[in-house]
Amino acid sequence: MTKTGKNVISTNPVQNTGAWRNLLDPSTTLGVTTGMMVKLKLHNTLSGKKEDFNPINPDHVRVYACGPTVYNYAHIGNGRMAVVCDLLSRILRELYPKVTYVSNITDIDDKIIAASKETGEKIDSITQKYADIYNEDMAVLGVAKPDIQPRATQHIPDMIKQIEALIEKEHAYEAEGHVLYHVPSYEAYGVLSGRSRDEQIAGARVDVAPYKKDAADFVLWKPSTDDQPGWESPWGRGRPGWHIECSAMSESTLGLPFDIHAGGSDLKFPHHENEIAQACGARGAENAPEEYAKYWVHNGFVVVENEKMSKSIGNVQLVHDLIKDHKGETLRLALLSAHYRQPLNWTKTLLEQSQNTLDKMYRVMKKISDIPVAEGEDNDESNIMDALCDDMNTPKAIASLISLITSADRTEDELVLSNIKREVLRYSKIFGILQENPDRWLGYDGASPENAEEIESLIAQRKEARANKDFAKADEIRNKLQAMNIEIEDTAEGTIWRKIG
């Protein structure tokens, strides 16, 4: 364990440490709300700008995010999307009385059908299995289950209804058992991704089907053969295209328009562009993409050791594997260490730094574990809240949280400590970290009391040896502790230890 190792998370200098300074000064009135609510700002892909978030109905904020297609394990890029959306919904819940966060499960898709053919496993059992694994893995990352998690197969009638409306409004047409969206019919197409028509055609990577009126047209409904899953529809037995799933499910669960649509930046085109065209086209909202969702929030890619994550390179990091070797909070903190819109470089070093940062924070939490939590109203005037509300500036917010926590190491004043503890508990809950018992995290609860006494005694002997410049003896004791699976670290506050393995 490195004591002075550079830490990506804490290298962001904490410019403004007013929050804990106030807390350290007992003369300051603490925990008093001013009635002023912090204003959330979000970068809206639709406008290309950071905007004040003004909900359609402040009494009920509605958010939708595209969820997984369940036929295999989620990778860390999927994990990042889920963690970012989870953080966003936690921030919104701090600010507004009611938030509905919907994230779907795509359980009908050609990739799922292909996986079923390949493995011989039934489609239902594949989708159930991987939906369960997804939810379990995300729970380890501290992701709360969405308020509503609709499954595509439960919303086929909604999709058929939306497709019928599109045909009626001449945005879609039937051809050879397919229903296609006619892209040139929707003038605002391309408004979200900023893609030109040529780029749209190239980017859509369309197979030139003879029944398409335009190369950019995309499938809303397609016919199913007898061995493929299908539903009866006005166009024969078939199944929906992927894009129509989200616009139909978001409409039926949230109503239109809703406040925020989120997802990975790779979904901007064509998926999100198509969602807008479908939802707005079906309700006659021509040239008014905000009639579907008002704000579009996209998170950046995850690269692995500076390389694009891809099957061909063999560097795909699955959440299911990562949670075997790392604690969920370590992964979550690592995922939040970069600003959500920036690419995130997923490295071994990042994971080590995240673990070290959490170890340090937990040590302070242990120190103040017996301090009662100060009572009073939540105070929104804090650097942490400001940073979170500034387009979810997590690097800055985490640096402020670290600053706040470490300030507890510079005082013994109980009142100050109890106020720090209150703030730390509040914000760590929003971040979804420090939710474990400090003893458990630090591995203290694994040692028996007799064992702990022996460890403390060896540490004291080592201290004495070092004071006498008997480094050989000090090393010998360290090795002895190591053999007992005890890792020690010399800190400014003295030597601390924890059980490893």
Q: Which of residues 371-390 bind Zn ion (CB under 5 A)?
A: none
Which lies closer to Zn ion via its Cβ, residue 280 or residue 388? 280
Site map (CB under 5 A) of Zn ion, residues 16-55, x = contact: ----------------------------------------
Smallest gap, in angstroms, from Cβ of residue 246 to Zn ion?
A: 3
Q: Please tell me what DSSP assigns to residue 269.
A: I
Which lies closer to Zn ion via its Cβ, residue 238 or residue 264? 264
Q: Is 81 in the site for Zn ion (CB under 5 A)?
A: no
Give phi and psi for 427, each to the nearest 5: -75, -35
63, 259 Cβ separation under 8 angstroms: yes
Smallest gap, in angstroms, from Cβ of residue 67 to Zn ion?
A: 8
The C-alpha atoms of residue 408 and residue 161 are separated, in whole angstroms, by: 58
Which lies closer to Zn ion via its Cβ, residue 270 or residue 300? 270
The C-alpha atoms of residue 298 and residue 43 are separated, in whole angstroms, by: 9
Only one of the segments 9-17, 59-67, 121-129, 306-314 lies at the binding site for Zn ion (rule: CB under 5 A); that segment is 59-67
Q: Is 82 in the site for Zn ion (CB under 5 A)?
A: no
Smallest gap, in angstroms, from Cβ of residue 66 to Zn ion?
A: 3
Q: Is 115 in the site for Zn ion (CB under 5 A)?
A: no
Which contacts (CB < 8 Å, 24+ apart) does range 404-413 have? 404/19, 404/20, 404/23, 405/360, 405/361, 405/364, 405/365, 406/360, 406/364, 407/17, 407/20, 407/23, 407/24, 408/364, 408/367, 408/368, 409/364, 409/367, 409/493, 410/24, 411/24, 413/26
The C-alpha atoms of residue 291 and residue 43 are separated, in whole angstroms, by: 18
Q: Is 192 in the site for Zn ion (CB under 5 A)?
A: no
Which lies closer to Zn ion via its Cβ, residue 279 or residue 384? 279
Smallest gap, in angstroms, from Cβ of residue 258 to Zn ion?
A: 13
Which lies closer to Zn ion via its Cβ, residue 62 or residue 421? 62
How would you classify the pairing of strands 61-65 and 99-103?
parallel
Which lies closer to Zn ion via its Cβ, residue 66 or residue 167? 66
Q: Is 216 in the site for Zn ion (CB under 5 A)?
A: no
**Pair of tokens at residue 59:** 């009494």
The C-alpha atoms of residue 225 and residue 245 are separated, in whole angstroms, by: 20
Smallest gap, in angstroms, from Cβ of residue 104 to Zn ion?
A: 7
Which lies closer to Zn ion via its Cβ, residue 87 or residue 246? 246
Smallest gap, in angstroms, from Cβ of residue 305 to Zn ion?
A: 29
Residue type, 488: I
Smallest gap, in angstroms, from Cβ of residue 352 to Zn ion?
A: 35
Which lies closer to Zn ion via its Cβ, residue 171 or residue 243? 243
Q: Is 219 in the site for Zn ion (CB under 5 A)?
A: no
- Binding residues for Zn ion, rule CB under 5 A, total 2
- Three-state SS annotation for 352-372: HHHHHHHHHHHHHHHHCCCCC
Smallest gap, in angstroms, from Cβ of residue 336 to Zn ion?
A: 23
Q: Which of residues 247-276 bind Zn ion (CB under 5 A)?
A: none
Q: Is 244 in the site for Zn ion (CB under 5 A)?
A: no
The C-alpha atoms of residue 88 and residue 499 are separated, in whole angstroms, by: 35
Element (H, E) at 124: helix 123-140
The C-alpha atoms of residue 16 and residue 399 are separated, in whole angstroms, by: 10
The C-alpha atoms of residue 222 and residue 231 are separated, in whole angstroms, by: 10
Element (H, E) at 422: helix 414-431
Chosen residue from 46, 66, 99, 260 binding Zn ion by CB under 5 A: 66
Only one of the segments 178-186, 238-246, 415-423, 451-459 lies at the binding site for Zn ion (rule: CB under 5 A); that segment is 238-246
Only one of the segments 65-73, 281-289, 434-442, 467-475 lies at the binding site for Zn ion (rule: CB under 5 A); that segment is 65-73
Chosen residue from 85, 163, 246, 385 binding Zn ion by CB under 5 A: 246
Q: What are the beta bridge partners of residue 297? A: 262
Which lies closer to Zn ion via its Cβ, residue 264 or residue 432? 264
3-state DSSP call for residue 376? Answer: coil
Smallest gap, in angstroms, from Cβ of residue 149 to Zn ion?
A: 13
Smallest gap, in angstroms, from Cβ of residue 44 to Zn ion?
A: 18
Smallest gap, in angstroms, from Cβ of residue 498 to Zn ion?
A: 43
**Pair of tokens at residue 162:** 């939306």
500, 445 Cβ separation under 8 angstroms: no
Only one of the segments 62-70, 114-122, 158-166, 413-421 lies at the binding site for Zn ion (rule: CB under 5 A); that segment is 62-70
How far the first Cα of the chain sits from its last, in Å, is 14
Q: Is 474 in the site for Zn ion (CB under 5 A)?
A: no
Which lies closer to Zn ion via its Cβ, residue 67 or residue 142? 67
Which lies closer to Zn ion via its Cβ, residue 79 or residue 270? 270
* Torsion, CA 441, CA 446, CA 448, CA 452, rounded to 10: -50
Which lies closer to Zn ion via its Cβ, residue 20 or residue 130? 130
For the stretch 304-342, what's the b/e string if a residue is b when 16 or more beta carbons lie within 10 angstroms of its beta carbon? beeeebeeeeeebbbbbebbeebbbbbbbbbbbbbbbbe
Give the contacts of 363 (CB within 8 A, at least 6 positions apart): 438, 442, 491, 496
Which lies closer to Zn ion via its Cβ, residue 66 or residue 338? 66
Q: Is 70 in the site for Zn ion (CB under 5 A)?
A: no
How would you classify the pairing of strands 49-52 and 41-44?
antiparallel
Smallest gap, in angstroms, from Cβ of residue 382 to Zn ion?
A: 34
How would you classify the pairing of strands 302-304 and 344-346?
parallel
Q: Which residues lie near Zn ion (CB under 5 A)?
A: 66, 246
